[in-house]
Structure formats: structure tokens, C-alpha cells
Amino acid sequence: MKKYFLKNKIFYLIYKFVKIYKNKKPSTHFGEFGEDIFVSRLLKDINNGRYVDVGCYHPFKGSLTAKLHDKGWNGVNIDISKTTIDLFNISRKKDINLNIAVTSFDGETFFYENSPINQQNSLIRTNDQQLEFKIKCLTLNSILEQNKIDSFDYLNIDVEGSEIEVIKGINFNKFNPRLITIENNDLLLEDYFKSEIYKLLADNKYTLINKIGVTNFFVHNKIKNKISNLIKV
């Protein structure tokens, strides 16, 4: 049945739409570890805010922006998987959804795919079974400027090991979102404090305040004094 759907464009879109809502759980959170609950608390005083989700993967499953979208936020969703962006074009039509790689330079690069929609697809080869594809790449700075975005409130980065490349492509003199969440699968916190990502964000006035699951939470120093009130239930 699935193969039939894939051969027929109309049925394929229906198949993907059903797949989206199959993963939209009527629970209190979408994030694997409930990270989005903490995200929502840190941003609860902002109405109609804007997010940028690099490595967005899925509109609901594991999403740290789904609750914000349901609240009325909009933003930019970016992923190297075309299938992922097709899902976002169906479920988040008012967002900017981009099938592109985010790097520290503008041009082209290669990405490695396990399957069309897979959390392990990345710009770093992790096994010999992955398929190699060429893809356009831009810095986050270039993407924001090309889409005429002057500011945003929340940045999520989940790109399977290429997080530092995304951070290097941001002009922090122009963009300083309140909250940045970054996937950290490998390093213990005591080692993370020595990492290039930590040092770069600290130099740009961000403080690491929490880790939930594999996600590190950085807030801009301008709101440090508000955190205790924001995270109250």
C-alpha cells in the first residue's frame, strides 16, 4: 500500500499528512524528554514570537517548536531532508520552510542520508551505508538576511555534530535571540564548558542554565534576572 501511495502524488501527500498527525500527541509535550515545556516557560511572556529551527526533523515528533507554533508563533524551519520540509509545508504553511544545509560558509556541501526522514541524517558521514548527496549551503546569517528577518526570539540547533558550524555563521552583533537550545549527545557538562561552542556563546553574552535530555539551554544575559519568574509553573 505504501508503495502505491509513493507512486501517486496526490495519495503521497495524503499519506504524509496522515503521518504528520499520527505523531501529533495530545500530551503535555512533543519533545522526547519534555524539553519543550521548559522552552515554553522561558518564552511564556512573548506573544506572536519567532523561532528558527535548524535541523527541524518533524513538525511534531520530538519538536521543540510545536508548542510555540500552536501558541501562535511562526518562524523558519530548516533541514537537509526534502521529505522533512515537505511535511512542514503541509503543517506549517505560514512558516518559511527551507531544504538547505546551514554551515559557516555559503556555497555547496555534501550530506549523508540514512533514509528520507531520519534524525541521523547529517553533514558528517557516520556509516558506510549512508547515501551521499550534494546540497546548497548558507550561513544562518545569509538565510535570515535573504528572508528579510531582522530579529527572532528562539534558536534551536539539532544537526548531528555540526552545531559549531551553525553558530559560526551567526552575526551576534545583529541577532541575539533570548534562548538558544543546542543538542549535545557526546559531552558531559564539565567537558562542554571547555568546548568551542560554549566559549563562542559565552563570548556573545549567553549563559548555560540547564540541560534536559541531550539538549543544552543557553539564555542571553539580558534576561538572566527574569529566569526564576519565567520558569515558575
Indicate whether 135 belongs to any domain. no
| % of the chain beyond a pLDDT of 70 | 78
Q: 165: domain range? A: 14-99+148-230
Is the residue at 1 inside a domain? no
Judge whether 95 and 199 are in contact, CB under 8 Å: no
Domain for residue 214, yes or no? yes
Per DSSP, 122 falls in state B
Q: Is the pLDDT of residue 23 over 80?
A: no
pLDDT of residue 25 exceeding 60? no
Give me the half-sphere count of Cα atoms (radius 13 Å) on the Cβ side of residue 21: 7
User: What DSSP string describes 25-67?
Assistant: -SSS--STTSHHHHHHHHTTT-SS-EEEEET---SSTT-SSHH
Question: Residue 36: which CATH number?
Answer: 3.40.50.150
* Average confidence score pLDDT of the chain: 84
pLDDT in tens, 197-207: 999 999 999 99
The answer to whether residue 222 sits within a structural domain is: yes
pLDDT in tens, 205-215: 999 999 999 99
Asked whether residue 203 is domain-assigned, the answer is yes
Q: Model pTM?
A: 0.83
Residue 66 in domain: yes
Which grid cell is 106?
555559503
Confidence grade of residue 225 (pLDDT, cut at 50, 70, 90): confident
Number of domains in the chain: 1
Three cell numbers, residue 93? 504553511
Q: 3 in helix, strand or coil?
A: helix
Asked, for residue 161, whether it belongs to a domain, the answer is yes
